[in-house]
Homo-oligomer: A and B are copies of this chain.
Amino acid sequence: MEPKVTVLTLGVRSLEISRRFYVEGLGWKPLVEVEGEVIFIQVAGGQVLALWSVDELAREAGSVGHSAKAPPIAIGHNVDSAGEVAAVLKEAVAAGATLIRKAGATDWGGTNGYFADPDGFRWEVAHNSGFRVTADGRVHMGPTTD
């Protein structure tokens, strides 16, 4: 099995509310949308984010679901400068996100902050000067100094 992720499916409580945040709020254009069913948005080379009802997901994938705590994942979104972290968090909050951690220095030398989407899914907005992507899509990670 190759190390490859082609789809990241978020099981959401309400597709309508997710659509309002991601499509109308953030302005992300769906690659494919089946109204009331599923929304696909490209988010990396060869990869789409899928917004799908958590109840439908559970019918396929067994006992998955939301709980009192937010899901134990973080979806990272790197930006090109430390200053952009606060700006992107502000944009997300304006689109309906909840601010979880404001922009600040990290112990790994970069800058980050977190917001939660309508289902609590955590997004980390980060500047990491050691994270570089070459034209072929390869990631290179080295020392970070903001």
Contact = CB atoms under 8 A, between A and B. Distances in A.
| Range of interface residues on A (Cβ < 8 Å) | 35 or more
A95 B134 CA distance: 32
Given A73-B73, A76-B9, A92 B1 contact: yes
A138 to B, nearest CB: 7
A44 B141 contact: no
Q: How many copies does the complex hold?
A: 2
A141 B61 CA distance: 22
B75 A72 contact: no
Nearest to A134: B46
Nearest to A22: B3
A8 B76 contact: yes
A92 B95 CA distance: 39
Nearest to A131: B6
Interface string A88-126: 100110010000110000000000101010011010111
Interface of A: 1-12, 26, 28-29, 31-32, 40-50, 54, 57, 60-78, 88, 91-92, 95, 100-101, 112, 114, 116, 119-120, 122, 124-126, 131, 133, 136-139, 141
23 contacts: A1-B77, A3-B28, A3-B42, A5-B75, A6-B133, A7-B75, A7-B76, A8-B8, A10-B72, A12-B72, A31-B139, A32-B141, A40-B141, A45-B46, A60-B101, A60-B112, A60-B124, A61-B70, A61-B100, A61-B114, A67-B68, A71-B72, A73-B73
